[in-house]
Amino acid sequence: MENAKKTPLYEEHINLKGKVVDFHGWALPIEYEGILQEHQAVREKAGLFDVSHMGEIRIKGKEAEAFVQYLMTNDIKTLDNGQILYTFMCYPDGGVVDDLLVYKFDREHYYLVVNASNIEKDFQWMKDQQKDFQVEIQNESDEVAEVALQGPKAEGILQKLTDTPLKEITFFTFKDNVTIKGKDCLVSRTGYTGEDGFEVYMKPEDAREIWTEILRAGEEEGIKPTGLGSRDTLRFEAGLPLYGNELSKDITPLEAGFGFFVKFTEDDFIGKAPLQKQKEEGLKRKIVGFELMKKGIPREGYEVYKDGEKIGYVTTGYLSPTLGKSIGLALVDIDHSKMGGTIQIKVRKREIDGTIISKRFLK
Amino acid sequence: MSELFFTKKHEWVKVDGEHATIGISDYAQEQLGDIVFIELPDVDEDFEQGDDFGVVESVKAASDLYMPISGKVVEINEELEDAPELVNEDAMANWMLKVEVTNKAELEDLLTEDQYKDFIEEE
């Protein structure tokens, strides 16, 4: 743990008695008060996450739009200035390099927000794909801090700290140069929890003050600092994928169930042909949601069977804090992926029956 | 007069004549975080010292439970089935199993409360 990098908010986590762990080389808290309490706070009130470990890569230049379009599966050209889209960046075979958000400033200026675990890989990948594109690619990850304020009370809390009418920052849009308690920030209405909320990007030296101010402003609403543990249980319940679990170089966006973010337009993008082929021929396996029919907790990596035959494995599973039942996501053979079907999940020494259900767990 | 012992795997055992009560320590519940599920064995099952007899699951991980001493299960705490969080609330009061002790000499392998306190300070 001594070698783990500290975000600008490290001392705050210590002061708040966070249980700090090494997360992909970063010293971050899994929880403060407890994962269940923090999870519930986000669903019912508000939670504040330190997400400064995320990566930020800026792409500027005459051919920025064409370059970003080439890298991404989603249709970048549909973006308005100030708008954001969720997309995958794929390998030539259709496997995933990363899932990320693309913030469009204008056709010659994009800001990409990528997973902390993939920053170096993504940056190198983009540079390797640049070829003759007239663009500048800058890795700004170390120059920016970020917090995520998530929950039904998020807007009310953040509004206390800024004159910018937050109502104007609609879902999947952003505003740059928003002043929060005198500090210059970029604010987007985005998040990884399934709740309303904002992601706030700032200079590292402003992070501690903004963090403290948000917690103070949200005290009467019941805000809690929230850690990596609840970040995972929240995104899982909301059906959002985690790179490394539901997405990887071996799992395509189509297999993961996110074909909506793969747009086959006339433009080429890396991985287009194999993904198109996979779509036309039909998937051989896919990620399904399931619910356990007996007590037990289905965890990542547990094997899935159908009548004695191994058909896949659990990609993420929990005893859902909000729903109070054991649910999971599993990558299984297409023949056994129908809604309502019964599968067996090997939970430690037992095989427990599960039913395939919709991945929209919270609906 | 009951005697309280601990193991390096953070179980406690309270011995009363031929019977013993087993649970996990406060340190263990603190380390685990929110406990969401506990799997216990059936009554009449026999175990040797060191056998894994069950699982305590927190939100993020499953941890095996190990028998501090050999014995036959005579009672399990059924309250923990629907309310595993009781162990977070009070790990010493919310026991998991009661067993019939088969070999008292095994207690010599265990830690006293003071020895356990020293042990966890070094962890």
Rg from Cα positions in chain A: 21
- Cα separation, A20 vs A17, whole angstroms: 9
- Quick check: A229 contacting B, CB < 8 Å? yes
The pLDDT of A275-302, averaged and rounded, is 97
The pLDDT of A139-153, averaged and rounded, is 98
Q: Which fold has domain A284-363?
A: Elongation Factor Tu (Ef-tu); domain 3 (2.40.30)
Q: What is the pTM of this model?
A: 0.94
Supply the pLDDT for residue A129.
98
Angle ∠(A145,A150,A152) on CA atoms, nearest 5: 155
Question: What does the pLDDT look like over A275-284, one tens digit per residue?
Answer: 999 999 999 9
Computed over every residue of chain A, the mean pLDDT equals 97
Q: Do A233 and B59 touch (CB under 8 A)?
A: yes
Check whether A233 has a pLDDT greater than 90. yes
Shortest CA distance from A35: residue in chain B: B34
Q: Do B33 and A31 touch (CB under 8 A)?
A: yes
- Quick check: A233 contacting B, CB < 8 Å? yes
pLDDT in tens, chain B (123 residues): 678 999 999 999 999 999 999 999 999 999 999 999 999 999 999 999 999 999 999 999 899 999 999 999 999 999 999 999 999 999 999 999 999 999 999 999 999 999 999 999 987
Residue pairs between chains A and B whose CB atoms are closer than 8 Å: 36
Report phi then psi at A27, rounded to 5.
Answer: -90, 100
| Identity of the amino acid at A281 | E
| Identity of the amino acid at A253 | P
Supply the pLDDT for residue A353.
97
Which two structure tokens, joined as six digits, stand for A301? 């990596």
H/E stretch holding B88: helix B86-89
The pLDDT of A119-131, averaged and rounded, is 98
Tell me, letter by letter, the H, E, C secondary structure of A230-273.
HHHHHHHHCCCCCECCCEECCECHHHHCCHHHCCCCCCCCCCHH
Q: Nearest CA to CA, how far is A307 from chain B (Å)?
A: 25
- Cα separation, A53 vs A103, whole angstroms: 18
Supply the pLDDT for residue B59.
94
- Quote ipTM for the complex: 0.86
Which of B36, B53, B81, B89 should one mutate to test binding to chain A, selecting the residue with the greatest count of A CBs within 10 A?
B36
Q: Which of A34, A296, A297 sits opposite B34 (nearest CB)?
A: A34
What structural domains and CATH numbers belong to chain B?
A: 9-103 (2.40.50.100)
Q: Which of A37, A229, A296 sits opposite B60 (nearest CB)?
A: A229
Supply the pLDDT for residue B1.
65
CATH code of the domain made up of A5-52+144-237: 3.30.1360.120
Could you say which architecture CATH assigns to the domain A55-123?
Answer: 2-Layer Sandwich (3.30)
Which of B27, B30, B34 should one mutate to test binding to chain A, selecting the residue with the greatest count of A CBs within 10 A?
B34
Check whether A127 has a pLDDT greater than 70. yes
Distances (CA, A) of A93 to A79, A96, A155, A261, A272: 26, 9, 41, 17, 8
- What residues of chain B lie within 8 A of the CB of A297, using their CB? 36-37, 57, 62
Q: Which of B33, B55, B81 sits opposite A35 (nearest CB)?
A: B33
Question: What does the pLDDT look like over A94-104, one tens digit per residue?
Answer: 999 999 999 99
- Cα separation, B117 vs A303, whole angstroms: 39
Q: Which of A30, A31, A297 sits opposite B62 (nearest CB)?
A: A297
Supply the pLDDT for residue A222.
98
Q: CATH 3.30.1360.120 in chain A, residues? A: 5-52+144-237
Which of A297, A327, A345 should one mutate to test binding to chain B, selecting the residue with the greatest count of B CBs within 10 A?
A297
- Quick check: A277 contacting B, CB < 8 Å? no
Q: Nearest CA to CA, how far is B103 from chain A (Å)?
A: 28
Q: CATH 3.30.70.1400 in chain A, residues? A: 55-123
Supply the pLDDT for residue A1.
60
Supply the pLDDT for residue A3.
85
Shortest CA distance from B64: residue in chain A: A348
Q: CATH 2.40.30.110 in chain A, residues? A: 284-363
Question: What does the pLDDT look like over A17-56, one tens digit per residue?
Answer: 999 999 999 999 999 999 999 999 999 999 999 999 999 9
Q: Do B57 and A297 touch (CB under 8 A)?
A: yes
Q: Nearest CA to CA, how far is B1 from chain A (Å)?
A: 37
Q: Which of A19, A36, A348 sits opposite B62 (nearest CB)?
A: A348
Q: Nearest CA to CA, how far is B120 from chain A (Å)?
A: 17
Check whether A113 has a pLDDT greater than 90. yes
Q: Do A34 and B36 touch (CB under 8 A)?
A: no
Helix (H, G, I), strand (E, B) or coil at B109: helix
The pLDDT of A178-195, averaged and rounded, is 98
Cβ atoms of residues A88 and A73 within 8 Å: yes
